[in-house]
């Protein structure tokens, strides 16, 4: 769902899931990208350096080489790294750290029965793990936003999932016809006409009713139809236009600053 929320923003031009955090110093993830040519990018210092800086014991695994066993640092994994560009084309990245619930950021293994001492230990481990990731990305000038399922209403999540299934469906209809159709959809939707009625009228003349219905969801996804996604999308009913626009409500999550 969070990947769909990210891709709903047209400023996002790439998205990396389960991004590995480098143990040792490494270049900025935008290094070498055509949009970043000529831009001075900060580098990662690595999780080993960050862990030492914040007083955290780095995760390790034991490896064996020619009969000898010894510990080596183990990579941490992030959740979503977004690549965006500003209106003037300047590229930047934003890190999203995601949990099931907001309280999961404050304590590891919350569902486990534990004593007070273990709870304090798990709370401290959670704090340090979050701080490690935030400091790791901040070294490269990348800000981290903490997200959980508590932050997005179920209706918004359901609407994003619905639209995503249609957003890249090929439309083998004349582009000019589709432009006219989109204009009609917007005009009639603002007047309170259910969009399915417009799709049916176009299908009577041009056929491909399935595509005209699918185009409704594509136009909502591309914001040609400014629908309030906090309400159900029922194409056989009048759409709730205007209202809370998703990129206004969640715009702060895409900023290259912590606020």
Radius of gyration of the chain from Cα atoms?
A: 23
Segment 72-102, tens digit of pLDDT: 899 999 999 999 999 998 999 999 999 988 8
Which tokens sit at 246? 């998703």
Mean pLDDT of 101-115: 71
pTM of the predicted model as reported, rounded to 2 decimal places: 0.87
Q: Structural domain boundaries of the chain?
A: 2-151, 154-251
Contacts of 149 (CB under 8 A, 6+ apart): 1, 100, 101, 157
Cβ pair 96, 147 in contact under 8 A: yes
Q: Taking Cα atoms as reference points, which of 2, 10, 1 lies closest to residue 221?
A: 10
Distance CA 152, CA 158 (A): 10
Confidence band for 111, pLDDT divided at 50, 70 and 90: low
Segment 120-173, tens digit of pLDDT: 777 788 899 999 999 999 999 999 999 999 999 999 999 999 999 999 999 999
Phi, psi angles (nearest 5°) of residue 170? -60, 135
Q: Which fold does the domain 2-151 belong to in CATH?
A: Trna Endonuclease; Chain: A, domain 1 (3.40.1350)
> What percentage of the chain carries pLDDT values higher than 90?
77
Confidence band for 259, pLDDT divided at 50, 70 and 90: very low
């Amino acid at each position: 769902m969070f990947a769909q929320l990210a891709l709903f923003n047209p400023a996002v031009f790439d998205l990396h899931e389960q991004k590995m955090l480098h143990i040792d110093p490494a270049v900025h993830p935008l290094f070498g990208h055509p949009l970043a040519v000529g831009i001075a990018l900060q580098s990662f210092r690595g999780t080993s350096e960050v862990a030492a800086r914040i007083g955290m014991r780095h995760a390790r695994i034991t490896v064996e080489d020619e009969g000898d066993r010894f510990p080596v640092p183990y990579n941490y994994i992030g959740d979503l790294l977004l690549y965006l560009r500003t209106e003037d084309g300047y590229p930047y990245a934003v890190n999203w750290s995601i949990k099931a619930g907001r309280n999961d950021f404050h304590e590891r293994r919350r569902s486990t029965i534990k004593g007070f001492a273990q709870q304090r230990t798990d709370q401290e481990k959670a704090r340090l793990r979050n701080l490690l990731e935030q400091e790791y990305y901040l070294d490269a000038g990348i800000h981290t936003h903490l997200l959980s399922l508590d932050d997005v209403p179920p209706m918004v999540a359901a609407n994003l999932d619905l639209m995503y299934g249609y957003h890249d469906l090929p439309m083998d209809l004349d582009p000019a016809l589709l432009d006219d159709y989109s204009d009609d959809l917007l005009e009639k939707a603002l007047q309170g006409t259910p969009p399915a009625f417009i799709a049916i009228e176009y299908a009577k003349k041009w056929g491909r009713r399935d595509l005209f219905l699918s185009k409704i969801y594509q136009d909502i996804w591309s914001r040609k139809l400014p629908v309030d996604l906090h309400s159900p999308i029922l194409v056989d009913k009048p759409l709730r236009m205007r209202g809370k626009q998703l990129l206004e409500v969640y715009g702060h999550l895409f900023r290259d600053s912590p606020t």
